[in-house]
Structure 1
Amino acid sequence: MSRLPMILSRSIRSSISHNQKLLPSLQHRFISQSSILYNSPFGKLTTDPNQQQPSPQQQESSQIQSTQKRPEIIKNEDGEIDISSITPENDEQLIEYHATEEIKNQKDSIEKLIHPLKIKLYNQVVRDHGFFKNDLIIKDEESKKLLKFHLTNEEISILEPSIYLQSFRIKLSMKKATIVNRFVRKMDLKTAINQLHFNSKKMSTELEKLLKTGLEKVRMLGYNENTIYIDKLWVGSDGKWKKRLDIKGRGRHGIIHHPYIHLKCVLKTEFTTKRLQWEKLQKSKLEKPKMYLNNDPLNLKVRPWYKW
């Protein structure tokens, strides 16, 4: 037996004697050499050929077992429900209530900010043109009247689909984080993740994790992941910085502050890109021809009379 496994086995035995809770983590850390050989530096790109993959029947059985984990409601012989068996996990009426309340709160929050008529007209314009076009003369379907429909930039940002991301307690300074944020801002989501994956800075790994969660949300909501881009990305102090004593010479000392920050990001869809391209085209059409006049000063004195 080589020397390395002896050292590992001693460390495991000592950890079991001190604290039994550390056993699963240590077992996971000191795996056989086959898992080390087949791991990739870029994540789980390769698989161990010795490891057998579960069959589709086993996957279906595992899904059924996960759904059956919910505790059942117990009934008596007379058909009466035992109240003690009802929990928030198996109460169907409570689950339905929370789902409907969540949808209702979302609608109420938008209607508090924007008039319902504006929301209806916005949806009508998007349905007709594929994206929102501002300052169009449209015909209302109910009143049959022609209306010039205008929305402010704030109202458009509320109505257009967007995804908000945030993270907390990252041990880094705001200045170092801003350098990486400037590099990625206004970039496509997938290209940003690829660029950050091969970046050597510490901030790039934290930002990559945040953008990957955004990519999962995009797939869950059903948007086209190839057209999503980073509209806004900013950093802020997370508060409660740790302090450490900095010992100096001649009986003096200072305080070292360990900064903690948070990241916040807003992702936009193709509806925003199409609208911005259309607005840029309309602005170029309304531009007047440029007159390149010479505004240099005269090289002679201008007097209100003739020289003679």
Structure 2
Amino acid sequence: MSLNLPIRRAAGSASALTSSQPSFSHLVPRCQQRTIFGFGKLWGDSSPPKKLPTNAIASDFLKKKATQPQYVPGDLGQRSIFNDEEAGGTKPRKREDTPFDALALEQHYRKPVLDPNPETREKWERKMVVRMIKKRGHLSRKQLLKQQERELLAKSHYFKTSVKKLVPLAKQITGKTVEEAIVQMRFSVKKAAKEVKEHLEHAKNEAIVSRGMALGKFNSEDPAKPIWIQTKDGKALKVDDPTKLYIQQAWVGRGGYKTSLDIRARGRAYIMKHPTTAITVVLKEEKTRIREHEERQEKLRNRKTWVHLPNRPITAQRQYYSW
């Protein structure tokens, strides 16, 4: 190993002074770089570097890489689907002097709710068309009514009450409009009436949003004329809006039991069972009740007059008594 001592540096400077052409190489530090193979190239060596062999593929790659834009964190990738929008920029929105259409805006926001999965709906419609072709276009009466009339079945959560206490409330609201049933539950003295009222309000909102019911006043320009109909139990009813909601059916279902301890005397403890009950309602529009009224009237008109002694020929008669 060579050592860069002051004595050698002085000797080198003296030889430089005696030479005809002064050299300043003694001023450059000459240290060697040690590697695993021994001593390598001197640091102060000013010899030109050796040229590496050129590669055509590597040179083309480096040229292309230099021309490509550098990646900035947060930018979109080359294969992103939003590159066209970013390159084009946001287009200026033209201002149109048109009146504000609240109904169109409402239908725009209601479309994802009414048709959340269009692919599944198309598959179901294709399946129904195939079934109808197999049956040669003959639909049952129930299928026709499903296509023409809307309904909603809403089941509540389980209330902390018994079936015996909830059945009278279900009978009370059956056949009434939703608004009238909510008023009845609001002023009822029953403890479970408050929860039934909240369930009716939730079912009403769900029918409007998810099924598009009770929208006749918004969709029709001219209000419908009031119609007097007769309900199934014989009561007269005035219908102003055919799309108004009413409760067609309401029934009660028993749920599970919740237990608690009943502490008694002498260190005893009994188990008390607290029942839970749910109420289910079927909401329909008034057009269903109008149809049922017209069917009953048509049935009465087509009914034949009852005759005590019908005028028909007597057959299978004997000329003598059978005894």
Q: TM-score, normalised by structure 1?
A: 0.47
Select the structure that is richer in helix.
1
Q: TM-score, normalised by structure 2?
A: 0.45
Larger Rg: 2
Select the structure that is richer in strand.
2
